[in-house]
Structure 1
Amino acid sequence: MTWQQLNCESHEPRKLVILLQLYCTFISISCVREFFLVLKMSSEFPSREFLWDVFQRVDRDKSGQISADELQQALSNGSWTPFNPQTVNLMISMFDKHNNGTIGFEEFGALWKYVTDWQNCFRSFDRDNSGTIEKGEFQTALQSFGYRLSDHIVDLLIGRFDRSRLGAIRFDDFIACCIILHTLTNAFRERDTDLDGVITIQYEEFLSMILLSVIM
């Protein structure tokens, strides 16, 4: 992942436990925090001057706010494919504290760190540096996150998030896939009170659990 048309170098990851303060419409703050506690990957927070320079470049209309369209133009998958607008909208909703569909400078700083942390995570599992996560790499990532899923479920996930039909997942869709999987897993665990891997759930509760997790 790179920030398009911005001469910005990413900071090297450090082994830190991170606590992100997020505002999120679709997933809870605790859900995101717990996920990154599992990853234990965090980038160094850049200087305010650095962030301000980047913010001004991304804010193309000079409104003092960054819209989803502006953010999408600034983000790249490390290829010529545009960043998934639905993933962009997810991230905007996560950091938009004022619910106006845009993010200001302070919110942008938190989002920058969030995306950079995901970049570090993605690169650590993209062993062949192809810019995508293939099935074997994806299974390694899932196992590192604590998931033990069958080949059938892994294939379903790849099929669901492989927008380019390459048999692999790009960076933006990797973010969305991991967030949704983690959110659904947490929702299941909250209901699996006896930890036997089986829950009894009412129809509308099931729909609520799914709809609150689905962003794409």
Structure 2
Amino acid sequence: MSDPDLLSQKTLSTTQDDALAMDDISSGDESPSIGKRTYGEIKREPDMSYALAAASRPYVAPHEIQKWFHSMAEKEDGKMTAKELQQAFEIFQGRYFSDSSCKFVVRLFDLDQNGGLDIREFELLYYYIKQWVTAFNAYDKDHTGALDEKELNFALKHMDIHFSPEFIRYLIKRQNPNATKMTLDQYIVTCIQIQRYTDEFKQRDTEYTGHINVRYEDFLEMIMRCV
């Protein structure tokens, strides 16, 4: 992937056909392409190589990105903080993103690790936000602004990740035991975390058995690398 807007056609550039296909899932007819139990293959993390390579090129941000960035990054250092990103989501997307979700996203996209997003880093995030929102809206078939168990299960299967109904339920309820649906910010963070943990697991499960044996310290290292 050489450019952030050239994302996976399979997962991030979701079409209306994906939403319509949920009728087949609910009726018990799964597509053969998602019937095989596999690990996640679709990357939802930014392509770091693109951002690093872009740093050496003359840069002018598109107008819409400049509008987002300059209206929120009020400090003289030209960085967007997690709090400012949270405000931007509410103003430009009409969506509430939690403090923890915004801090997580900023930490992930802050490539130079200086505590905030410059306009280059924000552009990379911006493209992913648009794709995530498009995908989320397609999976949110009943237009409630959140994914229920069936919708979340369908979304993850299109990432080639197949979880049991019990684990799908756990993902929705892990932050709120009374929750029955997953919001957009939770969906984004969950997808990123699943991919990170899956990548760590795959490195140790070279035969794709679905089982690994790890020493205690290896387990801790695996967890800490993903946090």
Given the two structures, how large is their TM-score scaled by the length of structure 2? 0.69
1:77–1:170 CA contact under 8 A, matched in 2: no
TM-aligned CA deviation for residue 194 of structure 1:
2.0
Q: 1:202 aligns with which of 195, 209, 215?
A: 215
Pair 1:169 & 2:182 matched: yes
What secondary structure sits across from 1:132 in the alignment?
coil
TM-aligned CA deviation for residue 205 of structure 1:
0.9
User: C-alpha separation between the residues in 2 aligned to 1:134 and 1:60?
Assistant: 37
TM-aligned CA deviation for residue 36 of structure 1:
4.7
Could you say if the C-alpha distance between residues 170 and 164 of structure 1 is closer, same or farther in structure 2, counting changes exceeding 3 Å? farther
The number of equivalent residue pairs is: 180
What secondary structure sits across from 1:195 in the alignment?
coil
Pair 1:122 & 2:136 matched: yes
Pair 1:213 & 2:226 matched: yes
1:77–1:131 CA contact under 8 A, matched in 2: no
Could you say if the C-alpha distance between residues 196 and 63 of structure 1 is closer, same or farther in structure 2, counting changes exceeding 3 Å? closer
1:135–1:167 CA contact under 8 A, matched in 2: yes
1:68–1:92 CA contact under 8 A, matched in 2: yes
Alignment-derived partner of residue 39 in structure 1: 11
Q: Deviations over 1:81-118 (max 9, x none)?
A: 74122221122122223322111112111111111111
Q: 2:199 aligns with which of 169, 173, 186?
A: 186
User: C-alpha separation between the residues in 2 aligned to 1:50 and 1:72?
Assistant: 17
- Give the aligned residue type for 1:103: L
Return the index of the structure with the highest Cα Rg. Answer: 2
TM-aligned CA deviation for residue 67 of structure 1:
1.2
Alignment-derived partner of residue 151 in structure 2: 137
Give the structure with the higher percent strand.
1
Using the aligned pairs only, state the percent identity. 26
Q: Deviations over 1:143-182 (max 9, x none)?
A: 1111221111111111114x49431110001011111112
Alignment-derived partner of residue 83 in structure 2: 69
Pick which of 93-102 and 73-82 moved more: 73-82
- Root-mean-square deviation (CA), in Å? 2.9
What secondary structure sits across from 2:182 in the alignment?
strand
Pair 1:104 & 2:118 matched: yes
Could you say if the C-alpha distance between residues 111 and 81 of structure 1 is closer, same or farther in structure 2, counting changes exceeding 3 Å? closer
